[in-house]
Amino acid sequence: MLTPPDVALAPLLPILLVLAGAVSSTVLGFHLPRRTLTAINLVLLLLSAAAMALLWSGPGELPATAFGGSLRADNAAVLLGLTIVAGSMMALLVSLDTAYRARLSFPEFDAMLMYAVTGTLLIAFSGDLIVMLIGLEVMSLASYVLATLQDSRRAEESGLKYFLLGSVGSAVLIYGLALVYGATGSLSYGGIAAATAGLTPGNLGLLVGGALLLLAGFGFKVALAPFHQWTPDVYSGAPTTVSLFLSTVVKVAAFAGMLRVFGGALQNAPFWASALQLLIAATLIVGNAASLFQTNFKRMLAYSAVAHTGFLAMALLGTPGLGGAALGYYLLVYTLMTGAALAIVAALQRTEAGMNISDLRGLYHRHPGYAVALAACLASLAGLPPFAGFFGKYLAFQAAFQNGYVWLSILAVLASVAALVYYLRPAMLLFMPDRTPAREYPHGQRPATNLTVALGVAAITVLGLLPNLWYGWLADPAIWELLAGR
């Protein structure tokens, strides 16, 4: 019997607003200048954020759903969605100043970015595996185009690598999804979570296989260690504005998917956590070790993004209540500090390859504002106390530690000590005396980039001093224990 699905507009509205931005950029791009399009898109993102904030459900309220629970606008979705919107706005603002110089100033840039954001929001709002997969594919396909959009060999290489490895990741993920469906007979997160309890041994084997394939697929998307090979090449080959988007928004969305699938649907499934801890250990070692040896600053940030994937994924090992809150907090902080650091790179670089670390010497005497902001970002990325990065790392370690992953927590602490070396070396160079001519791109007013950097640095400072401004919203364990719904 066919029954039409229930279409509720409220939980769809944040996604539809972003989609409207994408569609209008596609159509109006022939008639309006790109800056106007970007302004429209920024407004639509703000409206989308407002629509999400209105979806916040207080204690005792049931979250809004649509399509029979396939789309869940619960509090977790709202919090992750707001993080995604923050990262997207940073990318758009920075592109206002740098897209022209990066030969990216087409309406297609805005359109593809907004299509990707549509996909990321679908992942955050997903209530079953199919919606998650559609969101992931929309996001990935648009991201491949973004990485290739600039007309240069580097961007082509970056885009092709991203496309090939991303498609492999998607294929693995879909295989895992099929096995999970075969084992549990359900595609919705709630159905899978309910079915994992009473499985026959044969089906349990299928479920474990599916969960491991899903883990590998997500590993490709978030860049966990054996699957991280594409990350440095793609992030450093793509134009810096695009790298900013890929390393913040796309990663947040992939983690949102992981949180939904592993923290929600598969939270009682066996074995994936043991595999995940090995991947995290490998990621921490590889990411941090490789960052130590980079000479290019943008490439170092790319490897630092890999290292941070390890720290972020540790939160997934915690109990759903604690781990979800830790991940939610860390994702926003990670987005803000990485976004601000890459915004500074985008503003100051001479070419899209970024600058060398040695070029940062004496930046304080040429651009004092940028130098101080960059030092703050680096300190936060390293996890030094006054900044929010410290609290994010602390929460992630705590989540893993309390759930019994002691050796991994010790490894992570050691890794973050090693990370101090490569974060503080450029931070130190910034303030050294230097009389050689400036190595930065000399021209241009950059009001939008300055705004982004200022907001990002202010946010990581404030969130470091008063973490409850954001963590207070996340702290309720009920939000994260109901990721799969009832």
Partner 1 sequence: MLGIALGIGVLAVLVSALLGPKKASRAKLMAYESGNDPEHGGVGTGQRFPVHFYLVAMLFIVFDIETAFFFPLAVAYQKLVPFAFWEALTFVGLLLVGYYYILKKGVLEWT
Q: CA-CA distance, 339 to 90, in Å (whole number)? A: 7
Q: Which of 8, 26, 203, 418 binds partner 1 (CB under 8 A)?
A: 26
Q: CA-CA distance, 279 to 269, in Å (whole number)? A: 18
Which residue's CB is nearer to partner 1, number 41 or number 403?
Answer: 41
Q: CA-CA distance, 458 to 469, in Å (whole number)? A: 13
| Spatial contact of 241 and 104, defined as CB atoms under 8 Å apart | yes
**The one segment of 23-31, 116-124, 217-225, 437-445 that binds partner 1 by CB under 8 A:** 23-31
- Least Å distance, CB 111 to partner 1, is 9
Would you tell me how many other CB atoms lie within 10 Å of the CB of residue 435?
A: 6
**The one segment of 20-28, 126-134, 178-186, 435-443 that binds partner 1 by CB under 8 A:** 20-28
Q: CA-CA distance, 273 to 271, in Å (whole number)? A: 5
| Spatial contact of 216 and 79, defined as CB atoms under 8 Å apart | no
**The one segment of 3-11, 55-63, 272-280, 350-358 that binds partner 1 by CB under 8 A:** 3-11
- Least Å distance, CB 3 to partner 1, is 8
- Least Å distance, CB 7 to partner 1, is 7
Would you tell me how many other CB atoms lie within 10 Å of the CB of residue 174?
A: 17
Would you tell me how many other CB atoms lie within 10 Å of the CB of residue 8?
A: 14
- Least Å distance, CB 376 to partner 1, is 42
Which residue's CB is nearer to partner 1, number 19 or number 427?
Answer: 19
Q: Which of 8, 9, 10, 23 binds partner 1 (CB under 8 A)?
A: 23
Written as six digits, the tokens of 282 are 């490998």
Helix 297-314 and helix 388-402: axis angle, to 10°? 40
- Least Å distance, CB 69 to partner 1, is 17
- Least Å distance, CB 31 to partner 1, is 9
Q: Which of 9, 30, 151, 202 binds partner 1 (CB under 8 A)?
A: 30
Q: What is the DSSP letter of 247?
A: I
Which residue's CB is nearer to partner 1, number 23 or number 174?
Answer: 23
Q: What is the DSSP letter of 357?
A: G
Q: CA-CA distance, 429 to 445, in Å (whole number)? A: 25
10 Å CB burial of residue 197 (0-12, 13-18, 19+) is exposed
Tell me: does residue 10 bind partner 1 (CB under 8 A). Answer: no
Which residue's CB is nearer to partner 1, number 24 or number 196?
Answer: 24
Tell me: does residue 167 bind partner 1 (CB under 8 A). Answer: no
Written as six digits, the tokens of 120 are 């990321």
Which residue's CB is nearer to partner 1, number 115 or number 181?
Answer: 115
Q: Which of 27, 62, 164, 417 binds partner 1 (CB under 8 A)?
A: 27
Tell me: does residue 2 bind partner 1 (CB under 8 A). Answer: yes
Q: Is 367 left (phi over 0), alpha (psi -120 to 50) or beta?
A: beta
**Distance separating the N- and C-terminal Cα atoms of the chain:** 25
- Least Å distance, CB 81 to partner 1, is 22
Tell me: does residue 7 bind partner 1 (CB under 8 A). Answer: yes
Amino acid at site 123: I
**The one segment of 1-9, 185-193, 332-340, 450-458 that binds partner 1 by CB under 8 A:** 1-9
- Least Å distance, CB 313 to partner 1, is 35
- Least Å distance, CB 395 to partner 1, is 40
Q: How many residues interact with partner 1 (rule CB under 8 A)? A: 8
DSSP 229-298: THHHHHHHHS-HHHHHHIIIIIHHHHHHHHIIIIIIITTT-SSHHHHHHHHHHHHHHHHHHHHHT--BHH
* Residues whose CB falls within 8 Å of the CB of residue 257, separated by 6 or more in sequence, listed in order: 123, 126, 132, 135, 136, 218, 221
- Least Å distance, CB 114 to partner 1, is 12
Tell me: does residue 472 bind partner 1 (CB under 8 A). Answer: no
Q: What is the DSSP letter of 73?
A: E
Which residues of this chain interact with partner 1, rule CB under 8 A? 2, 4-5, 7, 23, 26-27, 30
